[in-house]
């Protein structure tokens, strides 16, 4: 009983780390062989060895259309004052959102979710890609994750940890775009990296900047859906994943700025690189997609399947 309580406490601490800023006792990392993702599968790191883990490779020929996957409603994404603070957590760069202002509903989700934070995963600039999810084995330079929990939990992350759909994560790929210092929204965001060079550094976001500004160029009706986990210890299997098909295009110079912050401090650590978990087995899970997303031929199979459906549709 006591052990169980301790475990729950650790889980809570980790999601709090994931969501807010509390530190965790589990010394997981990306950059040392003693604590990187190859050792997370042992018990102290949680349930990382289980069968509903993330990230996965999305094999587009195996994606199934699900008509229940409707359009999302994004609340507060256009509000340019929702971003509170940007932090170097020692494992990622995270932006916390002001309480209750950002919501996600629809999109086949069973209930409304409130967004707590977003953070990023990257490799080593544009030379080594570092997205977490891959699509047909393609890894993008970066991936942005917006993390939300059910609105009914009123921000209490401990409650999300006991619910198999307690959290909803929105994943956006980032790929290299044209020009320099583009888009302007990403120039504003990356300007803050110089203020959070060392682990634990954090500064308030004082610019007007909205999530819509950052998510430029993404058709948010086109996405993949599957059930998975947190991608960091303790890897709790509580996440409804949405991975958008279209990438955000960000110029190379800005992507290259992410490895200018440190895992620890500039005096005793390498630059922050390769902040992603390697893909894990999909096991018995299915990745689904809205029917509206099929038109853009993401797979010959999907296209053929939808053509094959045409006679059926005409009959009804």
Ligand X SMILES: *[C@@H]1O[C@H](CO)[C@@H](O)[C@H](O)[C@H]1NC(C)=O
Neighbours of 75 (CB within 10 A): 19
The Cα–Cα gap between 1 and 8 comes to: 11
Count of residues engaged in binding Zn ion, rule: CB under 5 A:
1
The Cα–Cα gap between 143 and 97 comes to: 18
H or E segment to which residue 308 belongs = helix 300-315
CB of 245 vs ligand X, minimal distance in Å: 19
Which has the closest alpha carbon to 150: 203, 124, 113, 194?
Answer: 113
The Cα–Cα gap between 79 and 65 comes to: 32
The Cα–Cα gap between 235 and 40 comes to: 9
The Cα–Cα gap between 316 and 310 comes to: 10
CB of 94 vs ligand X, minimal distance in Å: 15
Token pair in block for residue 184: 């302007």
DSSP structure class, residue 140: P
CB of 106 vs ligand X, minimal distance in Å: 7
Contacting ligand X within 254-273 (CB under 6 A): 264, 268-269, 273
Contacting ligand X within 56-75 (CB under 6 A): 66, 68, 73, 75
316 binds ligand X (CB under 6 A): no
Which has the closest alpha carbon to 189: 130, 274, 254?
Answer: 254
- From the list ligand X, Zn ion, none, which binds 222 (C-beta under 5 to 8 Å, kind-based)? none
Contacting ligand X within 204-233 (CB under 6 A): 204, 206, 208
**What is the SS3 assignment for 115?**
strand
CB of 4 vs Zn ion, minimal distance in Å: 27
- The correct pick among 7, 9, 51, 61 for binding ligand X (CB under 6 A) is 51
Nearer CB in complex with ligand X: 60/291 = 291
Instruction: Report the DSSP pairing between strands 248-251 and 103-106.
Output: unpaired
17 binds Zn ion (CB under 5 A): no
Which has the closest alpha carbon to 171: 244, 93, 63?
Answer: 244
Dihedral of CA 52/53/54/57: which sign? Answer: negative
CB of 139 vs Zn ion, minimal distance in Å: 14
Count of residues engaged in binding ligand X, rule: CB under 6 A:
31
Which has the closest alpha carbon to 144: 110, 114, 121, 113?
Answer: 121
Q: x/- contact string, 135-154, with Zn ion (CB under 5 A)?
A: ----------x---------
- From the list Zn ion, ligand X, none, which binds 6 (C-beta under 5 to 8 Å, kind-based)? none
Contacting Zn ion within 159-198 (CB under 5 A): none
The Cα–Cα gap between 57 and 179 comes to: 30
> Tokens 């978990």 belong to which residue?
277
Span interacting with ligand X, options 30-38, 130-138, 165-173, 243-251, rule CB under 6 A = 30-38
Nearer CB in complex with ligand X: 43/296 = 43
**What is the SS3 assignment for 66?**
coil
- From the list ligand X, Zn ion, none, which binds 145 (C-beta under 5 to 8 Å, kind-based)? Zn ion
CB of 130 vs ligand X, minimal distance in Å: 10
Nearer CB in complex with ligand X: 162/204 = 204
4 binds ligand X (CB under 6 A): no
Q: Which residues in this chain contact ligand X in the complex, by CB under 6 A?
A: 33, 36, 38, 43, 49-51, 66, 68, 73, 75, 80, 103, 105, 112, 124, 127-128, 194-195, 203-204, 206, 208, 264, 268-269, 273-274, 284-285
Q: Which residues in this chain contact Zn ion in the complex, by CB under 5 A?
A: 145
């Amino acid at each position: 009983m006591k052990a169980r309580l301790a475990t729950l406490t650790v889980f809570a601490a980790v999601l709090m780390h994931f969501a807010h800023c509390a530190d965790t006792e589990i010394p997981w990392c990306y950059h040392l062989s003693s604590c990187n993702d190859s050792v997370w599968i042992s018990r102290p790191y949680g349930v990382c060895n289980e069968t509903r883990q993330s990230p996965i490779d999305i094999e587009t020929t195996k994606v199934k259309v699900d008509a229940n996957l409707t359009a999302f409603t994004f609340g507060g994404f256009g509000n340019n004052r929702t971003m509170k603070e940007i932090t170097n957590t020692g494992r990622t760069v995270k932006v916390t959102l002001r309480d209750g202002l950002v919501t996600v509903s629809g999109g086949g989700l069973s209930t409304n979710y409130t967004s707590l934070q977003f953070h990023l995963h990257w490799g080593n600039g544009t030379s080594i890609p570092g997205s977490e999810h891959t699509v047909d084995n393609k890894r993008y330079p970066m991936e942005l994750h917006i993390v939300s929990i059910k609105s009914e939990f009123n921000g209490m992350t401990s409650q999300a940890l006991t619910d198999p759909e307690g959290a909803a994560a929105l994943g956006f790929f980032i790929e290299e775009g044209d020009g320099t210092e583009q888009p302007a929204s990403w120039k504003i965001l990356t300007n803050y990296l110089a203020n959070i060079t060392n682990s634990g550094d954090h500064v308030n976001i004082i610019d007007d900047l909205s999530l819509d500004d950052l998510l430029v160029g993404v058709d948010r009706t086109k996405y993949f859906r599957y059930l998975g986990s947190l991608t960091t210890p303790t890897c709790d299997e509580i996440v409804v994943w949405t991975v958008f098909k279209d990438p955000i295009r960000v110029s190379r110079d800005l992507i290259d700025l992410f490895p200018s912050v440190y895992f620890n401090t500039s005096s005793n650590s390498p630059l922050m690189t390769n902040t992603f978990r390697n893909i894990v087995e999909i096991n018995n899970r299915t990745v689904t997609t809205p029917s509206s997303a099929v038109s853009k031929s993401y797979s010959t199979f999907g296209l053929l399947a939808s053509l094959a459906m045409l006679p059926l549709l005409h009959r009804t």
